[in-house]
Amino acid sequence: MWKLLYQLASPKSFYSLSGRVTPWLSVCALVSLVLAMVWGLVFAPADYQQGEAFRIIYIHVPAAFLSMALYAWMGFLAILLLVWRIKIAGMMLHSMAQLGLAMTFLALVTGSIWGKPMWGAWWVWDARLTSELVLFLLYAAILATYQAVKNKDDGDRIIAILILVGVIDLPIIHYSVYWWNTLHQGATLSVFAKPKIAASMLYPLLLSLLGFFLYSIWIILERARSEVLLRERKQAWVKELFESK
């Protein structure tokens, strides 16, 4: 396993290894997403309180989950860049931030759409909603800062620092429903406890989560591969790739 990790640190190996994985990822992502949406929209039973409106969960929860998971992963990659100077980690930060922004946006807006019929409000300054909005602003700040820096390597380092500063928001979002008296409901899914949601509603949710995850990994790997080609264009292996075309 360590050998694989060392290989991934080399842009050339990363490019060829990821190239083998991305076709499978895209197909699996598409299949999972389609199945999950059909299952969630058609076959999952309606909620006794919320009726059919609860089906927004199959979009909202995966998007929110991803918005945090992507940021956590960015934090890890930022450390790899700043401490171990693994450049490929830095090359991925910007693409991840772009997708993270999209996921956070989706989580906020679908949450708002869900909140209107259920809570009677498009927005409340609830702890979880507010901290998720802060996450959206963090992503926006990261993207804006990257655009402002001319040298991409410097850009990577600067946003890596920014990412690490913002990491504190993740536990705040996660624990907000415990620490504060929030309107947003508490955790349904936990690593340690039984899920508080019926199985017939849970399984499509897990499938949707998987679909969103696979989709995200696919998008990020593909974007990273393009970025690697651009940044490493002076290397012989990139030249060979384009010579053979």
Query: Residues in the site for another protein, rule: CB under 8 A?
Result: 33, 37, 41-42, 46, 51-53, 55-56, 59-60, 63, 98-99, 102, 105-106, 109-110, 113-114, 116-117, 215, 219, 222-223, 226-227, 229-230, 233, 238-239, 242-243, 245
**Min CB(68)–another protein separation in Å:** 17
Q: Which is nearer to another protein, 105 or 180 (CB)?
A: 105
**Min CB(133)–another protein separation in Å:** 17
- 214 burial class (0-12, 13-18, 19+ CB within 10 angstroms)? buried
* Distance set, CA 188 to CA 44, 49, 182, 197, 201 (Å): 17, 16, 15, 7, 12
**Min CB(103)–another protein separation in Å:** 8
Q: Which is nearer to another protein, 43 or 76 (CB)?
A: 43
**Min CB(53)–another protein separation in Å:** 4
Q: Which is nearer to another protein, 116 or 196 (CB)?
A: 116
Q: Are 135 and 104 in contact (CB under 8 A)?
A: yes
Residues 6 or more apart whose CB falls under 8 angstroms from that of 124 comprise 115, 183
Q: Which is nearer to another protein, 61 or 80 (CB)?
A: 61
Residues 6 or more apart whose CB falls under 8 angstroms from that of 158 comprise 145, 146, 149
**Min CB(30)–another protein separation in Å:** 10
User: What does the DSSP 8-state code read for residue 54?
Assistant: G
Question: How far apart are the C-alpha atoms of 13 and 243, rounded to whole Å?
Answer: 19
Question: How far apart are the C-alpha atoms of 214 and 192, rounded to whole Å?
Answer: 24
Q: Which is nearer to another protein, 132 or 227 (CB)?
A: 227
